[in-house]
Structure 1
Amino acid sequence: MAGKSIDEIVIGEKACFSKTITEGDVYLYAGIIGDLNSAHINEEAAKKGIFGKRIAHGMLTAGLVSTVLGMKLPGEGTIYMGQELKFTKPVYFGDTVTATVEVSEKIRDKFLKLKTVCVNQNGEVVLEGVAMVLPPKKEAGK
């Protein structure tokens, strides 16, 4: 099922996705990308760091935004063109993060600009930014 075309999307429309970040998620992500920073994978070293315990990779959190864009709004067939990000708080193992995107602008009836925010289970913003996407084309006959 294809996602929404630009003609089907309205300014202010929102979608979200939530996930509890596990130790396994962090280890798998670290192994895939090769970022074995002790802040993520070494409990003893992380205890001595600024956060006092292990944290998830910021880009793992940002990946939840990608899930919303590619699976919900605009949805399947969307091409992620760019992202500005600011990481505002750490994400700890066991945190439930909700990524929300909100359509803020249509550009030349071709691209969408979306506000992107991730919050933890306490409602604290852990990531904020702006994404640019190319939504899927309208299916023929629709």
Structure 2
Amino acid sequence: MIRSIFFEDYELGAARQSAGRTITEADIVLHAGQTGDFYPHHMDEEWCKTQPFGRRIAHGTLVFSVAVGMMAGEINPEAFSYGYDRLRFVRPVHIGDTIRAKVTVHDKRDHPKRPEYGIVSERLEAVNQHGETVLACEHLLMVKRKGEART
């Protein structure tokens, strides 16, 4: 869906949530192949049995990518991702876990160098099927102001 939302339109506390997505072994294997991260925490089931978490865990970067992707359903031509801050992998995600993502607008501020834009900060949180937070970060959006809109 494409919808223009300008800096002034973002409301503090506004939230949206994704549907669930189950993390599979194929996700982990594909991510390992794409990134070259074949660390035993992700690939060696027998070794993982000797560790405190007891079984294979999904790459944190995989969980991050999936959570971001689940929230990317709306296309706003007046905004783009400016980056992510304070990324934390709070709990492990295992094969068969289902995660959901939620974003909440928690801050708006002027862009320090580009007055035609503002910065909108969204808290992104991924939770598992038990309602436990598995990932948290801050997503920064650079958003065009209405007064500077193209005609």
* RMSD value, Cα: 2.3
CA-CA distance at 1:2 after TM superposition = 4.5
| Count of aligned residue pairs for this structure pair | 140
Q: Residues 2-33 of structure 1: CA distance to partner in whole angstroms, max 9, x if unpaired?
A: 55332322111112223111100111111111
- Structure 2: gaps spanning 5 or more residues: 111-116
Identify the range of structure 1 (81-90 vs 23-32) with the bigger mean alpha-carbon deviation. 81-90
Report SS of the residue matched to 2:8.
Answer: helix
Q: Does 1:127 align with 2:135?
A: yes
Instruction: Name the counterpart of 2:40.
Output: 38
Question: What is the identity percentage for the equivalent residue pairs of Structure 1 and Structure 2?
Answer: 31
- Which amino acid is 1:111 matched to? I
Matches within 5 A, 1:60-139: 60-72=62-74, 75=76, 78-108=80-110, 110-135=118-143
Q: Does 1:12 align with 2:13?
A: yes
Contact kept? 2:118, 2:144, Cα under 8 Å = no
- Structure 1: gaps spanning 5 or more residues: none
Q: Relative to 1, partners in 2 of residues 1:3 and 1:31: Cα closer, same or farther, differing over 3 Å?
A: farther
Q: Relative to 1, partners in 2 of residues 1:70 and 1:56: Cα closer, same or farther, differing over 3 Å?
A: same
Q: Residues 17-56 of structure 1: CA distance to partner in whole angstroms, max 9, x if unpaired?
A: 2311110011111111111011111111111122100010
Contact kept? 1:105, 1:114, Cα under 8 Å = yes
